[in-house]
Chain A
Amino acid sequence: MIEFHDLHKGFGPKAVLTGLTLAVPDGETMVIIGYSGSGKSVALKHIVGLLHPDAGDVIVDGRAVSTLDRAGLTALRRDIGYVFQFAALFDSMSVAENVALGLRRRALDDDEIAERVREALALVDLTGTDERYPAELSGGMRKRVGIARAIALRPKYLLYDEPTTGLDPVTSAGMDRLMVRAREHLGVTGVVVTHDLRSAYTVGDRVAMLYEGRIRQVATVQEIQETEDPVVRQFIEGRAA
């Protein structure tokens, strides 16, 4: 279970998170929606300890992330797969090497690593791209390699940072299917950060709207679509202020 407890984070004079509280139970896919710059990615990075909170904390399976030392963080990160907004693939490595990199930190032999890489690439429909380099891939393919790299670790949690941003509608829909497939295949708990509502409705069990540094509303997809909250309504209807 992932729990945000009264999380505060600012950068210089700008307060980004001002008391974010949210719980993501095991087995659920939580989608966090919100305006650009509202702190969605900042919240996500706190889960894996890439950012340190000013106050409050994130608790993952009872572990307060901000209190973990390097060994504790490493152990935590073994349970989590993170899909970056722009994939963050290693330019100097082939697709297979990118996917295998995280596996090399585990006690796996080369055959098992190769099998896991093959499996992960097959799951994201990228069989046969092993030897290609990130520069030779389209934006959508790069994101799928990013997902393959995360799911190859067979994590307990999968975090997606804007997985459909910058993709055309058809590729976005494919990405949504992939996320659903990854969840069904691995049974992972997911946190998806996005402002793509179609994607949120497809992959989410529940949707949380982040607004002015806090959660404005958490509800099921259907409840969000029928919400009376004026701020949430404005966002999902895409009306200018």
Chain B
Amino acid sequence: MIATIGRRAAAAIEAAGRWGFFMADLGRATADAGTWSRLLVGQMRRIGVDSLPVAVFIAAFTGVVLALQASYTFTGAVPLYFVGTLVGKTMMLELGPVLTGLALAGRVGATMAAELGTMKVTEQVDALETLAYDPQSYLVLPRVLAATLMFPVIVALSILTGILTGWLTSLALLHLSTPEFIKGLKLFYVFKDTWFGLFKSATFGCTIAVVGCWMGLGTYGGAEGVGRSTMRAVVYSAVLILVLDALWAAVVLR
């Protein structure tokens, strides 16, 4: 029992140490701009543009459901134009960033872990090093920067999509007029709603990419190892998104 606790504590300390070195290496790699800047646009396209259909699909249905649930909850007690308030606030502050983050933890995080994990077990990462490339500046930094920059863009479009489908649902099914929906949408809006959601999504993107790359480059043990790293990348990213979500709410919204 004590030996098991000791082993786990030692493993946790070792993992924390490796994480620290990984992040320090990532910081150092920023100086190698000649390498990562060439790869950044390609990664932004892969992470941003290619993820848009999934994010927009999720947001579209979220907007519909939010409008219907708001109407269901408000009936008889709260004026119906508050549907616009709830759809807008919820999409901007919470569901836009978090649902998109969780969905892309699967798509983007898993892709990064699997891709880098495969490169690791097939010695492609070693080959990069022998060709005098730093894997941090060639593989990790472009992905982390691209995810950090593109997640706010994806989330902004998701929020717009959710509000749009919420509005269309209100028109078609709740018999709410456009001016009423917009009145509700503007009712308690503050600019902080916008920047908070986008800032949060940038931290989610950064987290997903860092975890995906860390897991990928830490892969060992062939195909089974790649599967293990991929699964861990998705689970750890999802957990960290929820933790960060609570943290930012506590720090920024109080």
Q: Which residues of A contact B (CB under 8 A)?
A: 45, 48-50, 70, 74, 77-78, 80-82, 84-86, 88-91, 101-102, 105, 149, 153
Contacts and interface: CB of A to CB of B under 8 A. Distances in A.
26 contacts: A48-B129, A49-B129, A50-B126, A50-B129, A50-B130, A70-B28, A74-B132, A77-B130, A77-B132, A80-B130, A82-B126, A82-B130, A84-B126, A86-B122, A88-B123, A88-B127, A90-B119, A90-B124, A90-B127, A91-B124, A101-B131, A101-B133, A105-B131, A105-B132, A149-B131, A153-B131
A74 B34 CA distance: 15
A227 to B, nearest CB: 33
Nearest to A76: B132
A102 B127 CA distance: 10
B94 interface: no
A45 to B, nearest CB: 7
Contacts of B127: 82, 84, 88-90
Given A82-B126, A82-B127, A88-B122, 5 more contacts: A50-B126, A70-B28, A74-B132, A77-B132, A80-B130
A70 B134 contact: yes
Interface of B: 28, 119, 122-124, 126-127, 129-134
A16 to B, nearest CB: 16
Contact of B123 (A70, A80, A86, A101): A86
Contacts of A153: 131
B132 A102 contact: yes
A80 B131 CA distance: 8
A77 B126 CA distance: 12
A85 B126 CA distance: 12
A102 B126 contact: no
A82 B124 CA distance: 12
A85 B130 CA distance: 14
Nearest to A146: B127
A90 B39 CA distance: 15
Contacts of A84: 123, 126-127
Contact of A78 (B119, B123, B132, B134): B132
B131 A102 contact: yes
Nearest to A74: B132
A77 B129 CA distance: 8
Contacts of B134: 70, 74
Interface centre among B123, B126, B134, by most chain A C-beta atoms within 10 angstroms, is: B123
Nearest to B29: A70
A105 B133 contact: yes
B130 to A, nearest CB: 4
Contacts of B123: 84-86, 88
A149 B129 CA distance: 13
Interface centre among A81, A88, A89, by most chain B C-beta atoms within 10 angstroms, is: A88
A77 B127 CA distance: 11
Contacts of B119: 90
Nearest to A85: B123
Q: Which 9 A-B pairs have the closest CB atoms?
A: A102-B131, A88-B127, A82-B130, A88-B123, A77-B132, A105-B132, A74-B132, A84-B123, A88-B124
Interface centre among B119, B122, B124, B131, by most chain A C-beta atoms within 10 angstroms, is: B131
A88 B130 CA distance: 11
A48 B130 contact: yes
Contacts of A50: 126, 129-130
Nearest to B115: A92
Contacts of A85: 123
Contacts of A74: 132, 134
Nearest to A101: B131
Nearest to A79: B132
Contacts of A78: 132
Contacts of B28: 70
A154 to B, nearest CB: 13
B115 to A, nearest CB: 9
Nearest to B38: A104
A91 B126 CA distance: 14
A82 B130 CA distance: 7
Nearest to B131: A102
Nearest to B123: A88
A151 to B, nearest CB: 13
